[in-house]
Amino acid sequence: MMSQRSERRGIHLDQSELLCKKGCGYYGNTAWQGLCSKCWREENQRERQKQIQEDWALAERLQREEEEAYASRHQRAQSQPTITPFSKFEERKTKEKSSKVNTVTKFFTPSAKTPPKKDTTSFDTQSSPSPSSSSSRHPPADTDHATREFIDFLKPLKSGREIFKQCRAFTESMVYKRDMGADELSECVQDFYQNLSDRLQTQFKGSTEHVESVMDEVEKYMMTRLYKEVFCPETTDDEKKDLAIQKRIRALHWVTIEMLCVPVDEEIPEVSDSVVKAITDVIEMDSKRVPKDKLACITRCSKHIFNAIKISKKEAASADDFLPTLIYIVLKANPPRLQSNIQYITRFCNPSRLMTGEDGYYFTNLCCAVAFIEKLDGQSLNLSPEEFELYMSGQASPHWPQGAGASSPGSAALSQVHKRLDLLTGLGERQDRVIEKARQLESDLIDWTDEVEQKVQSVLESFPQETHNPTATTASGTTSAAASAIDSDNVENERLPPPLQPQVFAG
Amino acid sequence: MGENVQTIPGGAQPHKDRTLNRQVRTLRVKMVLLGSSGVGKSSLAVRFAKNEFRDTSPTVGCAFLTQVVHVSDASLRFEIWDTAGQEKYHSVTPLYYRGAHAALLVYDISKRETFIRAQLWLKELEKHYIPGSTVIFLIGNKGDLAWDRQVSVQEGQNLAHEKGLSFIETSALSGDQVNELLLDVGKIQNILKVPLDGSRHQTEYLTVNRINAHFSLMYWISGVKK
Ligand SMILES: Nc1nc2c(ncn2[C@@H]2O[C@H](COP(=O)(O)OP(=O)(O)O)[C@@H](O)[C@H]2O)c(=O)[nH]1
Ligand SMILES: [Mg+2]
Ligand SMILES: [Zn+2]
Quote the number of domains for chain B.
1
A61 and A147 both lie in a single domain:
no
Residue A315, classed as helix, strand or coil, is coil
Phi-psi domain of B225 (left: phi exceeds 0; alpha: psi -120 through 50; beta: other): left
Q: Between A12 and A247, where is the model more confident?
A: A247
pLDDT at B150: 96
Q: Show Cβ contacts of residue A111 under 8 Å, excluding neighbours closer than 6 positions.
A: A71
In a domain, B203, yes or no: yes
Partners of B82 on chain A (C-beta within 8 Å) are 318-319
| Number of A–B residue contacts, CB under 8 Å | 151
* A253 and A361 belong to one structural domain: yes
Using the beta-carbon criterion (under 8 Å), do A322 and B58 form an inter-chain contact? no
Q: Of A208, A230, A252, at which residue does a domain stop?
A: A230
Same domain, A384 and A270: yes
Asked whether residue A331 is assigned to any structural domain, the reply reads yes
Quick one: pLDDT at residue A304?
A: 96
Question: Residue A341 has what pLDDT?
Answer: 96
At residue B71, φ and ψ (nearest 5 deg) are -125, 125
Residue B204 domain-assigned? yes
Contact B84 A322 (CB under 8 A): yes
pLDDT, one tens digit per residue, over A105-123 is 333 333 334 344 333 333 3
A487-506 residues touching B, CB cutoff 8 A: none
Closest partner residue to A186 (CB to CB) among B28, B64, B208 is B208
In whole numbers, what is the pLDDT of chain A averaged over residues? 74
Same domain, A226 and A249: no
User: Do A375 and A248 sit in the same domain of this protein?
Assistant: yes
Best residue among B34, B41, B43 to mutate for probing ligand 1's pocket (most ligand atoms within 8 Å of CB) is: B43
Does residue A220 sit in the same domain as residue A309? no
Report ipTM for this prediction. 0.81
> Looking at the DSSP assignment, which residues form a beta bridge with residue B34?
B105
Q: pLDDT tens digits, residue range B37-68?
A: 999 999 999 988 887 788 777 666 778 999 88
Cβ proximity of A388 and A323 under 8 Å: no
**Domain end position, chosen among A393, A414, A449:** A393
| A103 and A155 fall within a common domain | no
Residue A483 lies in a domain: no
Per the CB < 8 A criterion, the answer to whether B42 and A320 are in contact is yes
Last residue of a domain, one of A361, A393, A425: A393
- Same domain, residue pair A260 and A381: yes
Angstrom distance (rounded) from CA B111 to CA B153: 13
| Shortest-distance ligand to the CA of residue B106 | 1
Residues in Cβ contact with B12 at an 8 Å cutoff, skipping those fewer than 6 apart:
B69, B70, B71, B72, B183
pTM of the model: 0.66
> In whole angstroms, what is the distance from residue B168 CA to residue B148 CA?
18
Q: Is A314 on the interface with B (CB under 8 A)?
A: yes
Supply the mean pLDDT for chain B: 74
The stretch A255-281 carries a mean pLDDT of: 94
How far apart are the C-alpha atoms of B50 and B66, rounded to whole Å? 9
Output the CA A115–ligand 3 centroid distance in Å.
52
**Range in A86-100, A294-308, A370-384, B165-179 the model is least confident about:** A86-100
A96 in contact with chain B, both atoms CB, cutoff 8 A = no
**SS3 for B81?**
strand
Contact indicator for A329, A278 with CB cutoff of 8 Å: yes
Residues A257 and A160 in one domain: no
Q: Is residue A475 part of a domain?
A: no
Chain B interface includes A324 (CB < 8 A) = yes
Domain annotation covers residue A36: yes
Task: Please report, rounded to a whole number, the percentage of residues in chain B having pLDDT higher than 70.
Answer: 67
Whether residue B1 lies inside any domain: the answer is no
Put simply, the chain A residues between 137 and 196 with a CB less than 8 A from any chain B CB are 183, 186-187, 190-191, 193-194
CB atoms A205 and B83 under 8 Å: no
Mean per-residue pLDDT, A487-497? 53
Say if CB A71 and CB A110 are below 8 A apart. Answer: yes
Look at residue A292 and tell me if it is in a domain.
yes
Out of A261, A319, A354, closest to residue B82 by CB = A319
A127 & A192 share domain: yes
B15 in any annotated domain: no
Q: What is the rounded distance in angstroms from the CA atom of residue A105 to the CA atom of residue A101?
A: 6
CB-CB neighbors (< 8 A) of A350 in chain B? 200, 205
Q: Quote the pLDDT of residue A135.
A: 37
Q: Is residue A24 part of a domain?
A: no
CA-based nearest residue to A179, from A45, A287, A362, A346: A45
Cα of A41 from ligand 3 centre, angstroms = 9
Same domain for A243 and A386? yes
Residue B192 lies in a domain: yes
**Residue ID of nearest Cα to ligand 1 atom 8:** B40
Comparing A238 with A469, which gets the higher pLDDT?
A238
DSSP secondary structure of A77-143: HHHSPPP-HHHHHHHHHHHH-HHHHHHHHTTTSPPTTS-HHHHHHHHHHHHS--THHHHT--S-HHH
Give the ligand 1 atom nearest the CA of B170: 27
* Distance to chain A for B60, nearest Cα, Å: 6
Task: Give B195 or A226, the one with higher predicted confidence.
Answer: A226
A439 sits in which H/E element: helix A408-462
Would B129 be classed as within a structural domain? Answer: yes
Show the ligand 1 pocket: residues with CB < 6 angstroms. Answer: A 318, 320; B 37-43, 54-55, 85, 141-142, 144-145, 171-173
Whether residues A157 and A55 share a domain: the answer is no
Query: Which residue segment(s) compose the domain that B215 sits in?
Result: 24-222
- Domain of residue A278 covers 237-393
State the Cα angle at A98 between A92 and A102, rounded to 5°: 120
The CATH number for A311's domain is 1.20.1050.80
CB within 8 Å: A191 and B37: no
Return the SS3 of B28.
strand
Better-scored residue on pLDDT, A283 or A423: A283
- B226 and A183 within 8 Å at the Cβ level: the answer is no
Provide the pLDDT for residue B24: 63
Give me the pLDDT at residue A103, please.
35
A425 lies in a domain? no
- Number of domains into which chain A is organized: 3
Closest CA to B8 of B67, B80, B86, B83: B67
Say if residue A392's pLDDT is above 50. yes
Residue pLDDT, tens place only, B134-152: 888 999 999 999 999 999 9
- The residues whose Cβ lies within 5 A of ligand 3, an ion, are A 20, 22, 24, 26, 36, 39
Closest CA to A360 of A316, A302, A305, A306: A302
The CATH number given to whatever domain includes residue B37 is: 3.40.50.300
CATH of the domain at A189: 1.10.246.120
Higher-scoring residue by pLDDT: A137, A449: A449
Strand, coil or helix: what is B27? Answer: strand
Residue A371 and residue B1: Cβ atoms within 8 Å? Answer: no
Domain-located, residue B174 = yes
Q: Tens digit of pLDDT for each residue in B78-136?
A: 899 999 988 889 888 888 888 888 899 999 999 999 999 999 888 888 877 666 678 88
